[in-house]
Amino acid sequence: MKIYINNYNPQDILKKIKLIDQYFSSKKNNTEIISDDGIFYIDEKRFYKVNIILDELVKLRSNNLELLLDKSVYNNDIVHQVPFDHIDFHITTFYYAINSNKFNKFKIKLVVEGNYDVSDNKVIDKDKIIINKYHNFSPTNFYFEAPNEKTEFEILNNDDLNVFLSLLN
């Protein structure tokens, strides 16, 4: 389940990145493909077609923020062929967790997705990325990831979510 802050520009998260970086947990690279045949996703291991089974969005309020709870359910089918006509996006995803204990499945994580700016007049300096993973990084999306079993009450009263919301506010 994903939780979004309504009307919060993903670029604004860069202003708070030093505050949330102390909770950095992991980083992942993948490719998203958009075509007339649907949405596809390539990770380190497989190629999937994303199928939306249930599309549900619920509005919630927490402190002066309007949250959008995305209860959509997806099914990922393994595929072996890229559609001929498509657009692809290389996405870097950063994960943040208050307590990165892998055994606690009820933790809420902050997920920041984006890409590195490689416009014609900018060259990515790989040495700077190693020192500063946010060098030339441009966020395009962010959300909180929560276990599907959580109720709306549990989400709004979750300490991890409230810590992240206070850092982003």
Residue 123 has pLDDT above 90, yes or no: no
pLDDT at res. 124: 55
Domain residue ranges in the chain: 2-168
pLDDT at res. 11: 92
Cα separation of 111 and 141, whole Å? 8
Residue 52 has pLDDT above 80, yes or no: yes
Residue 60 has pLDDT above 80, yes or no: yes
In CATH terms, the fold of domain 2-168 is mRNA Triphosphatase Cet1; Chain A (3.20.100)
Cα separation of 165 and 169, whole Å? 6
Write the CA distances from 90 to 7, 24, 28, integer angstroms. 24, 21, 11
Q: Give the global pTM.
A: 0.84
Residue 126 has pLDDT above 80, yes or no: no
Q: To the nearest whole number, what is the mean pLDDT of the chain? A: 85
